[in-house]
Structure 1
């Protein structure tokens, strides 16, 4: 299949009826548009496509592209597409101390049954980062927040030059837009937020909230988005002349 000068091929495992579904996928089209503005792309081979369980639209796309820089130097073309995402650092203040509200969930890719993470999720078709951030807060952390509470850490740090943090730029297209919210809570409220279970069978998600002292949580982080969110939040505090201790 030749479209706009690019040859598209598909692995035998991908049904012919899904070819156009893949090509019309929003995050693939956004990625291709960005790539074509900076690289010369001759061919794209779709190796595999995973679809959402509830509806037939792509969730992950693995492809290999034949592409070069403008001076014809070839570049590595293996890419996994999933679109952009959001993450929210939840800072709780209680009795003069700071805490982080986090979630634990299984992550097979890193062999962790209880990976410690900030609430996060992929961007939906609305393309509204703030709306998705608020939705993920309610879904994963059981926190109902107002848009005015969101601190846009990505905008603060990068001033509009990027939609988000790239966690694995050698393979993934994903950029994560990071936010923070701050809440003053009582001891009773803090205790009630700890240990809540959320189960989403359709997505194979088994989530449990965990409240940890601010500094203790930081030393337990291995997830990149956690560390970047914490770094940006600390810089935001400094810029706003607020002490983080």
Structure 2
């Protein structure tokens, strides 16, 4: 059995739910409301005569929620849906969507305290952990974590650094590379009515997740560097089995080459550094 309701902020769009999923659960799932607001806002950009879809604009006709996963007894963790987006000609846009909400990633760079200013010697902390979705038990990546319903990006980054790296960093000592690069706005988008998240979108063809990338840099005693290599971290009660890996900044693009977060962090850091902004 299914049920249908209309979102209070979007009363013309029918939303069909599977059995055992309630309207209240969906409305309280922030990634759903955020995605719906972002999409409908972007659709308004078609009103500009310069937009390529302006002659025959697309509209969101309906949403069919197909499946879901719960965190705990009732809170939605992940949502899979099909959005019907088409124009008056009957032309349609692919609308398979996996909703999980934003995450954060942290580029943590350690500089030996005896390194000279012109040596440019830096080391980066990566995590190695099982990623079943990738079929891997030893996936090398930038430390990262999901933003919860009431989460704030900087606070989430600081918490994940403490949980995964064992480093307690005040939020004020974190720098958002994504915010610096995107300029607190549309990041140079042609149609400024689109209000996308300030972060990298690893799979925009299917998933809403975007990842703001934060940076933290500190000097540490050279002898302390080896303490991080191979260190076991993570919340075991959450199924996290993480070990740390220390790599030279110059090798980061190769060692973390399978991880989109790592490659995005390298590009952002190098681009901003070339402009003298970090």
TM over 0.5: yes
| Selected match of 2:41 from 25, 37, 41 | 37
Asked whether 1:21 is paired with 2:45, we answer no
TM-score (structure 2 length as normaliser): 0.80
Question: Equivalents in 1 of 2:60, 2:5: separation in Å?
Answer: 12
Equivalent runs, 1:61-72 vs 2, <5 Å? 61-68=79-86
Alignment of 1:95-244 (within 5 A): 95-96=114-115, 97-160=121-184, 161=186, 162-221=197-256, 222-240=258-276
Change (3 A) 1:119 1:74: same
The answer to whether the 8 Å contact 1:38/1:70 transfers is: no
Where does the alignment leave 5 or more consecutive residues of structure 2 unmatched? 44-58, 116-120, 187-196
Q: Which runs of 4+ in 1 moved over 4 A?
A: 69-72
- Give the distance between the partners of 2:94 and 2:217, measured in 1 at CA: 41
RMSD: 2.0
Aligned to 2:5: 2
Selected match of 2:69 from 25, 50, 54: 50
Say whether 1:78 aligns with 2:96.
yes
Measured after TM superposition, the shift of residue 185 of structure 1 is 0.8
State the alpha-carbon separation in 2 of the partners of residues 241 and 132 from structure 1: 24
- Please list the CA deviations of residues 98-152 of structure 1 after superposition, one character each: whole Å capped at 9, or x if unmatched: 1111111111122221111111111122241111110111111111112232111
2:201–2:209 Cα contact (<8 Å) kept? yes
Change (3 A) 1:72 1:153: farther
TM-score, normalised relative to structure 1: 0.90
What is the alpha-carbon distance in structure 2 between the residues aligned to residue 69 and residue 208 of structure 1? Answer: 50
Question: After superposition, what is the alpha-carbon deviation per residue over 1:75-95, rounded to whole angstroms, capped at 9, x for unaligned?
Answer: 111000001111010111114
Number of residue-to-residue matches in the alignment: 238
SS at match of 2:93: coil
In structure 1, C-alpha distance between the alignment counterparts of 2:128 and 2:220, rounded to whole Å: 21
Distance 2:234 2:183 in 1: 37
User: Which structure 1 segments of 5+ residues have no match?
Assistant: none
- Matched residues in 1 for 2:65 and 2:236: separation? 29
Does the 8 Å CA contact 1:6/1:44 hold for their aligned counterparts?
yes
What is the CA–CA distance in structure 1 between the aligned matches of 2:264 and 2:234, rounded to whole Å? Answer: 27
CA distance in 1, matches of 2:167, 2:276: 25
Q: Which has the larger radius of gyration?
A: 2
